[in-house]
Amino acid sequence: MEFLSRKARGIAPYTAGEQPQDRTYIKLNTNENPYPPSPEAAKALRAFAAETLRLYPRPDAGLLRAAIARAEGVGEENVFCGNGSDEVLALSFPAFFDAHGVGACFADLTYSFYEVFAAFFDIPKTVVPLRADFTFDLERMKQTPCAGYYIANPNAPTGVGIGLAEMERFVASVPEKLVILDEAYMDFFGESGVPLTKKYSNVLVVKTFSKSYALAGMRCGYAVGDAALIDGLFRMKDCFNSYPVDRVAEAVCAAAVGDRDYYRAVTARVVSERERLRAELLSLGFTVPESRSNFLFAGRVRLSGREIYQGLKAAGVLVRYWDRPVLRDFVRITVGTPEENGVLTEQLKKLLS
Ligand SMILES: *Cc1c(COP(=O)(O)O)cnc(C)c1O
């Protein structure tokens, strides 16, 4: 008996970066923060009253929603919270695109979850190649028939960013299409499109607590945009799960959002280490596009991405590679602590010599 649906049998799910348990690795493969979350977040976790878990959380994660609205300078009606930004992105597909309709447009080298979601929800996609230097071809995207766009800014896995002025020109040029900005790494760039959401009703910004906030284990993300867009996300959420953000996540993430000084300092450390590590990789002969994120996309040396990945793994350092055209000549390396990056570069030197 075959019990699986045609969809379950046919779909190619997203493959997350490995989290192996066989030994302790220097983990530079999933863009987690090498530094701990804010002490305020840790304090909120310790102070959390376990007896309140008897009760369901607020369906809108109201406490967190208010804290995010304050931090982003928008109204609470402009904020939607979900169980990781992947969930927010997932809900955005049926909220804003029709199955078998005109569809969504995104780059060929970008966050590979977009094509999984599009397939899952039967939403057609048009894929626009990046330019040879890995920048977005916004002109060509503009001319692509579609109902809206997914743009990871900075992009994954390349780290390349689009500045706010250029993004505004793009958003203003496609008023009848929705522009969904996946800003998972934006704090490492500082050119967020959130201000555009107040001026343009066709922009939705999606952010996460997993990277710059060092709370990947908490599973929380959010969207900022026009109240009508936020309402669309609520309608979809309430068809799947009334309470995607649990009480612990709500309290911890709200405390984190309030600790701007701590995160500014941690982010600055990662950014300065990113520049130092990039210079080292360039000196080893790697091609490394300028990164605006917390990772580097490095390759085009005499070893393939897979060979680098395997060599580093044997030495206890995990990075990410993909067996796909263009990507297979590269690895994606999360910026770690100076000590971790030191081990990484030592091992790379050995592999390349
Ligand atoms: C990490 C990442 C996310 C999502 O993360 P969550 O942990 O689900 O919040 C979304 N988009 C991009 C491009 C990412 O790299």
Boundaries of every domain in the chain: 6-36+261-352, 39-259
* Fold of the CATH domain 6-36+261-352: Aspartate Aminotransferase, domain 1 (3.90.1150)
Could you list the pLDDT tens digit for every one of the 353 residues in the chain? 789 999 999 998 888 888 888 889 999 999 999 999 999 999 999 999 999 999 999 999 999 999 999 999 999 999 999 999 999 999 999 999 999 999 999 999 999 999 999 999 999 999 999 999 999 999 999 999 999 999 999 999 999 999 999 999 999 999 999 999 999 999 999 999 999 999 999 999 999 999 999 999 999 999 999 999 999 999 999 999 999 999 999 999 999 999 999 999 999 999 999 999 999 999 999 999 999 999 999 999 999 999 999 999 999 999 999 999 889 999 999 999 999 999 999 999 999 99
Q: Which of 29, 88, 93, 208 to mutate to test the pocket of ligand 1 (most atoms within 8 A of CB)?
A: 208
Q: Give the CATH number of domain 39-259.
A: 3.40.640.10
CA 192, CA 203: separation in Å to the nearest integer? 12
Q: Which amino acid is at 169?
A: R
Question: Residue 178: in which H helix or E strand, if any?
Answer: strand 178-182
182: β partners: 152, 206
Q: Which amino acid is at 78?
A: N
The percent of the chain in helix, strand and coil, each rounded to the nearest 5, is 45, 15, 40
Neighbouring residues of 212: CB distance < 8 A, sequence distance ≥ 6: 33, 185, 186, 187, 188, 263, 266, 267, 294
* Residue 102: exposure state from Cβ atoms within 10 A (0-12, 13-18, ≥19): middle
CA 223, CA 83: separation in Å to the nearest integer? 11
Residue 336 C-alpha to ligand 1 middle, in angstroms?
Answer: 18
Residues within a 6 A CB radius of ligand 1: 31, 84-86, 111, 152, 156, 182, 184, 208, 210-211, 216, 221
Q: Which two tokens stand for residue 300?
A: 């085009």
Q: Which two tokens stand for residue 215?
A: 């709370």
Q: Which of 64, 111, 334 to mutate to test the pocket of ligand 1 (most atoms within 8 A of CB)?
A: 111
Q: Do domains 6-36+261-352 and 39-259 have the same CATH topology?
A: no
